[in-house]
């Protein structure tokens, strides 16, 4: 099985689980984010892990921009890299952005994540 397909399936599982959490437990997200951002060491380590995993995925997956499902995996890898860099270098800005912009539409994000995750998981 090629690396793009493995990455798509793993990303699909992650998105379905995360999306389902947002749909079923979206009201707990503000408390989780507050606790998360109150611990700078955890935020930094999360950023390092995201940078490492996304860089590895981009390098191993090949940074493919061909307009197929592989492009979706590449986009998620780049977004994950940016998120990781944000956690490392600008956690305060991310904290303010997340607390103001995302909390009101958590359920919509959850549904979108589940749909994209299922599409990625069932790719052949």
pLDDT of residue 96: 85
Cα 53 from Cα 76, distance rounded (Å): 11
Q: Is the pLDDT of residue 100 over 70?
A: no
pLDDT of residue 106: 87
The pTM (predicted TM-score) of the whole model is 0.84
For the ranges 12-16, 17-21, 63-67, 84-88, which has the lowest average pLDDT? 63-67
Cα 39 from Cα 47, distance rounded (Å): 13
pLDDT in tens, 36-82: 999 999 999 999 999 998 888 777 777 888 888 888 888 988 999 99
pLDDT band for 90, please (50, 70, 90 cuts): very high
Please provide the average confidence, as pLDDT, over all residues in the chain: 89
Cα 24 from Cα 29, distance rounded (Å): 11
pLDDT of residue 63: 82
């Amino acid at each position: 099985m090629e690396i793009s397909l493995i990455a798509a399936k793993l990303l699909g599982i992650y998105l379905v689980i995360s999306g389902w959490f947002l749909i079923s437990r979206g009201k707990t997200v503000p408390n989780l984010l507050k606790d998360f951002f109150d611990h700078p060491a955890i935020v930094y380590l999360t950023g390092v892990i995201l940078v490492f995993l996304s860089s590895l995925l981009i390098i191993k997956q090949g940074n493919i921009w061909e307009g197929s499902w592989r492009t979706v995996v590449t986009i998620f890898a780049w977004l994950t890299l940016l998120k990781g860099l944000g956690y490392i270098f600008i956690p305060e800005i991310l904290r303010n952005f997340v607390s103001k912009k995302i909390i009101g539409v958590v359920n919509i994000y959850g549904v979108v994540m589940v749909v994209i995750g299922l599409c990625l998981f069932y790719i052949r």
